Structure 1
Amino acid sequence: MKDRIIGLIVNPLAGVGGRLGFKGSDGAYGIRALMMGADLVAPRRARAFLESLDDELASKGIQVKLLLPPGRMGESVAREAGRLRAVKVETVPCVDPRIWPTTAHDTIRCARTIENEVDLLVFAGGDGTARDILNAVDMRLPVLGIPSGVKVYSGVFAVNPRSAARVVTAFLEGRARLEERPVVDVDEEEFRRDRLVLRTFGKLLVPVAEGVVESPKTLAGGEGVEDIARFFAEELYRDCTLYILGPGRTVARIAEYLGVRKTLLGVDAVHNKRLVGKDLDEEAIIELIEKHPRTVIVLSPIGGQGFILGRGNQQISPRVVRKVGKEGIVVVSDPEKLRSLGRLRVDTGDDDVDRMMRGYIRVLIGYGKWKMVRVE
């Protein structure tokens, strides 16, 4: 097979505000997260993709050329990945690597610079980055996202970096079909006011291999929410236990049954039926856990995707999960949503924590009703 050409663009600020509870990293919030010392997420996930892709291609004897922007938008990721066997890296001078931080204009400029040179454009970012790619290339070439943002509502992303490598390999081997997938984003200002306002901005052409590309998120609504909340309050709740309540309508309804009003989209904490933490970041959650002998984390899967960790709740980080353990996590879901999902997913960015969470977990689906569901 002759060499194929792939483009890779990294938005290094994508996801940087997740563990700080910022609900997104666009504009000033990304800068603020940097000033607070937050770690860069997207370069690490892009590196994981690149290393997995090289392994996949080398095992199949496939060679590709990879076009990258300079600096943190690509070149440094390839350099940190070390020696690549199947991927030949070439830097395209589309931005000045000395200028930091990068902006949406840099993403758009680089995408437009390389679009006519590549068979497939891969990007590491979130929904804001997907909008930039849409602005740059529209439907003119296939595009695939490596999920790295706080908000990942669009249907253009692989499940995780390793899945992205498998999709790219399938595309190169002619095994992936191309589909038009929506680019969806939220109004971040409304999001920070605890109101979820979604908007579809257009579509991108995405290579799809079975089971490895997400569906767009859907909003929950089901008939079992009241029974779940009532059972939790009447039978599961215990005084002197700290409850870390993740985002979502089902968990918010549980909070109401406990007599408190939580944020719909943030991570809150309840102790002795009193709100002791609101819209918490990672560090605040850790501090609360260390003050209480017993902690339970309550999560609800994202409709349409099935993620219980790693999407929209990055504050519940690998550090948090390790402290509580899998046995300290309660998953709740109305049965209709769970039937549509079939399985649950985790993508915390920590392989050890993801392995710990995989397998089967009990999910509360009604009043005293549980279902064993596989976590992938």
Structure 2
Amino acid sequence: MLKLGVIINPYAGIGGSVALKGSDGVEARDRALQLGAKPRAAERMLRALAPLEGLPVKLYGYAGDMGAAALTSLPLPFEVVGRAATVPSSAQDTQKAARALKGLGVDLIVFAGGDGTARSLADAIGCNVPVLGVPSGVKIHSGVYAISPEAAGRVLCQLAAGCWAPLVECEVRDIDETAFREGRVRARHYAEMRVPMEAGAIQQVKNAGAEVDELAQADIAADVAERMDSDSLYLIGPGSTTRAVMTELGLESTLLGVDVVKAGQLLAGDATEAEILALMQSHRGPVVMVVTAIGGQGHILGRGNQQFSPAVVEQIGRDNIWVVATADKLKALEGRPLLVDSNSPQLDRQLAGLLPVICGYHQEILYPVGGGHEPAG
């Protein structure tokens, strides 16, 4: 019987769709809720755990929205071991829950959250209990997360079926959210935790410090600018490579947000999901989304650009997604695919396959997209 501790940070990632770039702190959480953002961590945890039905597993966790409110809907035995001291729950509640699960002797703690949640667990239990993260935050730089809920489910199913997995110490990153919201990425090594490793299931640490080939980015930007026409609406996603496109166009840009451009004019900077959908609805021509891959990880959707929700991407269509990345960034993936984690498994499957990637001026390569959208079990 696999004894599985479960912790849900119920508001992880809530700021993504409304362009807040994080949800750490009461102010950010409340602001996201005021803007109409919807919690998604519990639903993503359910996607990871649902494939365990019929396997010898028992779940342990907290009452309320840290666990029981969602998990008792699963046909899996669940034991409540405590409850949060505050509603909504806090980082202290996460730490208390982790210590309680450690005291019960669980085999593994699976948790839904972002980098802040990972830091809380590291503070509470260190490397004493193996963990596996279900990615639910806005930005996820740490290497303790699966690449998607379905990938986490695959790992859990293997463990529940009695298959062994090597435990690897993976890095937890500390991100300055205040600086992040201001367009500056400050990441440092914070701690390490042990993670059951399966090839292709666990994400790599976000590479935020690699030197950037500015000349290659400029070549990509020149190519993209040449392709653009006056009739289309362009959604320029976050990243230094996409920012080079805005520089080529002579427009102000948001390094960590989504900018909307038409006919060489900036219609909206740092746009939310709702603002993007409204602009798309009023626009009568084609809509093109320009995205780049996160260095080291390879995600093109679902990490730091939740404004590109399933509702947005489905309207745009696969053929109108322009992926831009330098050749060096693609080589650094060492053959791993680009990744999508849109929060819609069906959409992720539709996006899988070969996509052209603009990697220079008049230079494209076909590169595989996938990983993590396959169901577990």
TM-score scaled by length of structure 2: 0.93
Q: Say yes or no: does 1:315 pair with 2:307.
A: yes
Letter aligned with residue 109 of structure 2: L
Q: Secondary structure at the match of 1:90?
A: strand
The answer for unaligned runs of 5 or more in structure 1 is none
**1:19 matched to which residue of 2?**
17
Percent pairwise identity: 40
**1:112 matched to which residue of 2?**
99
Q: Secondary structure at the match of 1:145?
A: strand
Letter aligned with residue 11 of structure 2: L
**1:191 matched to which residue of 2?**
180
**1:304 matched to which residue of 2?**
296
1:215 to 200, 204, 217: 204
Q: Secondary structure at the match of 2:3?
A: strand
2:251 to 240, 245, 260: 260
Q: Secondary structure at the match of 2:144?
A: coil
2:355 to 328, 338, 361: 361
Letter aligned with residue 8 of structure 2: V
Q: Secondary structure at the match of 1:182?
A: strand
Mapped contact 1:12–1:43 kept (Cα < 8 A) = yes
1:274 to 265, 274, 277: 265
Change (3 A) 1:42 1:127: same
2:4 to 6, 23, 35: 6
Instruction: Let me know the Cα RMSD of the aligned residues.
Output: 1.4
Letter aligned with residue 333 of structure 1: A
Letter aligned with residue 25 of structure 1: S
**2:89 matched to which residue of 1?**
102
Mapped contact 1:19–1:281 kept (Cα < 8 A) = yes
- Match runs of 1:1-376 below 5 Å: 3-27=1-25, 28-54=27-53, 58=54, 62-81=55-74, 84=75, 87-95=76-84, 99-117=86-104, 118-172=106-160, 173-219=162-208, 221-222=212-213, 224-233=216-225, 235-292=226-283, 293-341=285-333, 342=335, 343-376=337-370
Mapped contact 1:297–1:328 kept (Cα < 8 A) = yes
Q: Secondary structure at the match of 2:82?
A: coil
Q: After TM superposition, give the deviation of residue 241 of structure 1 in Å.
A: 1.8
Mapped contact 1:335–1:365 kept (Cα < 8 A) = yes
Mapped contact 1:175–1:209 kept (Cα < 8 A) = no
Q: After TM superposition, give the deviation of residue 174 of structure 1 in Å.
A: 4.1
**Residues 122-148 of structure 1, C-alpha deviations (whole Å, 9 max, x = no match):** 101000100111111011110110000
Q: After TM superposition, give the deviation of residue 30 of structure 1 in Å.
A: 1.1
Q: Secondary structure at the match of 1:23?
A: coil
Q: Secondary structure at the match of 2:319?
A: helix
**Residues 207-242 of structure 1, C-alpha deviations (whole Å, 9 max, x = no match):** 111110000011362352121111222x31211321
Q: After TM superposition, give the deviation of residue 261 of structure 1 in Å.
A: 2.3
Q: Point out the more displaced range, 7-16 or 286-295.
A: 286-295
Number of residues paired by the alignment? 361
Distance in 2, matches of 1:274 and 1:282, equals 20
Change (3 A) 1:170 1:352: closer
Q: Secondary structure at the match of 1:18?
A: coil
Mapped contact 1:53–1:162 kept (Cα < 8 A) = no
Q: Secondary structure at the match of 1:159?
A: coil
Mapped contact 1:309–1:345 kept (Cα < 8 A) = yes
Distance in 1, matches of 2:80 and 2:155, equals 23
Distance in 1, matches of 2:137 and 2:80, equals 24
Mapped contact 2:15–2:32 kept (Cα < 8 A) = yes
**Residues 307-335 of structure 1, C-alpha deviations (whole Å, 9 max, x = no match):** 11111000011111011111111000000
**Residues 109-132 of structure 1, C-alpha deviations (whole Å, 9 max, x = no match):** 111111122111110100010011
Distance in 1, matches of 2:2 and 2:327, equals 45
